[in-house]
Amino acid sequence: TVKLTIDNKQVEVPKGTTIYKAARKLGIDIPVLCYMELHDLGVENKPAGCRICVVEVEGRRNLAPSCATECAEGMVVKTHTTRVINARRTVMELILSDHPKDCLTCPKSGRCDLQDMAIKLGIREIPGQEYAEMSTYKKDFSPSIIRDVDKCIMCRRCETMCNEVQTVGALSAVNRGFMAVVAPAFEQDLEKSPCTYCGQCVAVCPTGALTEVDHTTKVIRAIADPTKTVLVQTAPAVRAALGEEFGMKPGTLVTGKMVAALRQIGFDYVFDTDFAADLTIMEEGTELLDRLTRFLNGDKNVKLPILTSCCPGWVNFFEHNFTDMLDVPSSAKSPQQMFGAIAKSYFAEKLGKKREELVVVSVMPCLAKKYECQRDEFKVDGNQDVDFSISTRELAHLIKEFNINFEELPDDDFDRPLGESTGAAVIFGATGGVIEAAVRTAYEVYTGKPLPKIDFTELRGMEGIRSATIDFNGLPINIGIAHGLGNARKLLEDVRSGKANYHAIEVMACPGGCIGGGGQPLHHGNSAIIKARMEAIYREDAGKPIRKSHENPYIVKLYEEFLGKPMSEKAHHLLHTHYFS
Ligand code: HC1
Ligand code: SF4
pLDDT tens digit sequence for 220-230: 999 999 999 99
CA-nearest of 73, 102, 88, 97 to 33 is: 88
The span from the CA of 372 to the CA of 364, in Å, is 12
Order of strands across the sheet that contains 145-147: 140-141, 145-147, 210-212
The span from the CA of 10 to the CA of 76, in Å, is 9
Q: Show Cβ contacts of residue 110 under 8 Å, excluding neighbours closer than 6 positions.
A: none
Tell me the ipTM for this assembly: 0.94
Residue 4 pLDDT: 98
Q: pLDDT tens digits for 342-395? A: 999 999 999 999 999 999 999 999 999 999 999 999 999 999 999 999 999 999
The reply to whether 205 belongs to the active site is: no
Residues with CB under 6 A from ligand 2: 145, 161-162, 166, 168, 170-171, 195-201
Q: What is the mean pLDDT of residues 139-150?
A: 96
Length of the chain measured in residues = 581
The span from the CA of 338 to the CA of 323, in Å, is 24
Ligand at shortest distance from the CA of 508: 1
Taking the alpha carbons at both ends of the chain, their separation in whole angstroms is: 52
Nearest C-alpha to atom 1 of ligand 1 is from which residue? 514
Residue 477 pLDDT: 95
Residue 268 pLDDT: 98
Q: How confident is residue 239, by pLDDT bands cut at 50, 70 and 90?
A: very high
Q: How confident is residue 181, by pLDDT bands cut at 50, 70 and 90?
A: confident
Q: How confident is residue 175, by pLDDT bands cut at 50, 70 and 90?
A: confident
Q: Show Cβ contacts of residue 142 under 8 Å, excluding neighbours closer than 6 positions.
A: 189, 190, 191, 195, 197, 213, 371
Residue 263 pLDDT: 98
Q: What is the mean pLDDT of residues 110-118?
A: 96
Q: pLDDT tens digits for 422-456? A: 999 999 999 999 999 999 999 999 999 999 999 99
Residue 300 pLDDT: 87
State in Å: Cα 365 to ligand 1 middle.
8
The span from the CA of 103 to the CA of 101, in Å, is 6
- Can you list the domains of the chain with their CATH numbers? 2-120 (3.10.20.740), 280-335+421-575 (3.40.950.10)
Q: What is the mean pLDDT of residues 193-202?
A: 97
Residue 177 pLDDT: 79
Taking the CA of residue 200 as reference, the ligand 2 atom at the shortest distance is 8
Q: How confident is residue 576, by pLDDT bands cut at 50, 70 and 90?
A: very high
The reply to whether 514 belongs to the active site is: yes
Decide if pLDDT at 533 tops 90. yes
Residue 134 pLDDT: 76
State the burial class of residue 295 (Cβ atoms within 10 Å of its Cβ: 0-12, 13-18, 19+): middle
Residue 131 pLDDT: 75
Decide if pLDDT at 128 tops 80. no
Which of 162, 165, 366, 370 is the best mutation target for the ligand 2 pocket, counting ligand atoms within 8 Å of the beta carbon and taking the most?
Answer: 162
pLDDT averaged over every residue in the chain: 95
State in Å: Cα 509 to ligand 2 middle.
10
Q: What is the mean pLDDT of residues 469-497?
A: 95
Q: How confident is residue 180, by pLDDT bands cut at 50, 70 and 90?
A: confident
Residue 179 pLDDT: 81
The span from the CA of 385 to the CA of 350, in Å, is 17
Q: What is the mean pLDDT of residues 406-422?
A: 98
Q: pLDDT tens digits for 304-324? A: 999 999 999 999 999 999 999
Taking the CA of residue 161 as reference, the ligand 2 atom at the shortest distance is 8
